[in-house]
Amino acid sequence: MTATSTVLVIDDSPSIRGTTRNLLLTEGDLSVLEATDGLSGFRMLVEAKPDLVLCDLEMPLADGRKFLALRRSRPDLEDVPVIMLTADNDADQKADLLDLGATDYVTKPFHARELLARVRVHLRICQLTLALRAANERLGEIADTDALTGLPNRRRFDELLIVEVARAKRYGSPLSLAMVDVDHFKGVNDRFGHDVGDTVLRALGQALGVGVRETDFAARFGGEEFAILMPHTGPVEARVAAERLRRSFHAVVHAAGNDSLSCTVSIGVAAYDASKGVDDGRTLSKAADTALYRAKSEGRDRVVVG
């Protein structure tokens, strides 16, 4: 348990609430909230979000079953463990409570050490579950992130491209895609080494990360190629944004041992346009690639709109 663990005690009996509260407070690392019936307990659960609930089964107004039903209506609260306190030792009833969403049950009059032990176990399980979920979310972020630049990777880009094309198709909103490629990148690696090449790519990733609008999405597409997805942006605006990026990156000076260098990028821009057959992620990417190829063939260090 942590120093911030909070237990909500729901019981209509002031004496039982007091006994339970005093017992929990002997742990020294728990705080206690109290409610007198299932309805007020549910309101407190929503507002205070305690770490665990001890709930009596039989109460006037709203009993423990009602509390469980209310809790079930809020999926965001399903991870909060609920230990039911019941004087009925009937196995079928206990099974029913578990089916309704209770995490565990303790028979009243409860044994103090048993109740504390169950509270400790379920708080520990809850904390481990939250830690595991956070770790899984972190793994998901890592799976979607390019390790060198910190930008989203090709996998994440492909996922978002599908979403944004569908949005443009449904609402008729403009959408543009820019493909960005570092000019003569192989020469940089051959002359200065891959460490300097990595420095150049990281610098471009940083320029993309801070240079695009909040609504835009920049990703490392692969190798020295990057992509910028620009929702609600037509080809004219996209060209302006691409030119701004081209100029700013050209101005960056990269250290290369005792030497230094600056690099340029070629950028191809294409816009979603169903009337021209550019109506899905594949055709939009192909159109931007074609514009990028033109930028390369026309001398590099330029923006071409397809």
Give the C-alpha separation, 278 to 102, whole Å: 53
Torsion angles phi and psi, residue 223, rounded to 5 = 60, -125
Buried b (16+ CB within 10 A) or exposed e, 245-280: bbeebeeeebebeeeebebebbbbbbbbbeeeebeb
The number of residues making up the chain comes to 306
Contacts 24+ apart (CB under 8 A), 110-113: 110/85, 112/23
The secondary element (H helix, E strand) that includes residue 178 is: strand 175-182
From 224, 225, 243, 298, active-site residue: 224
Please check whether residue 55 is in contact with residue 83, taking contact to mean a CB–CB distance below 8 angstroms.
yes
Question: How far is the C-alpha of 267 from the C-alpha of 301, rounded, in Å?
Answer: 8
Structure tokens at 257: 């041992």
| Residue 213 in tokens | 């609008």
Sign of CA dihedral 140, 141, 144, 145: negative
In terms of Cα–Cα distance, which of 267, 210, 273 is closest to 239?
267
- Indicate the DSSP class of residue 276: G
Single out the residue of 59, 270, 38, 305 nearest to residue 175, CA to CA: 270
Catalytic status, residue 224: yes
Q: Is residue 229 within 8 Å of residue 161, measured between CB atoms?
A: yes
Which residues are annotated as catalytic? 224
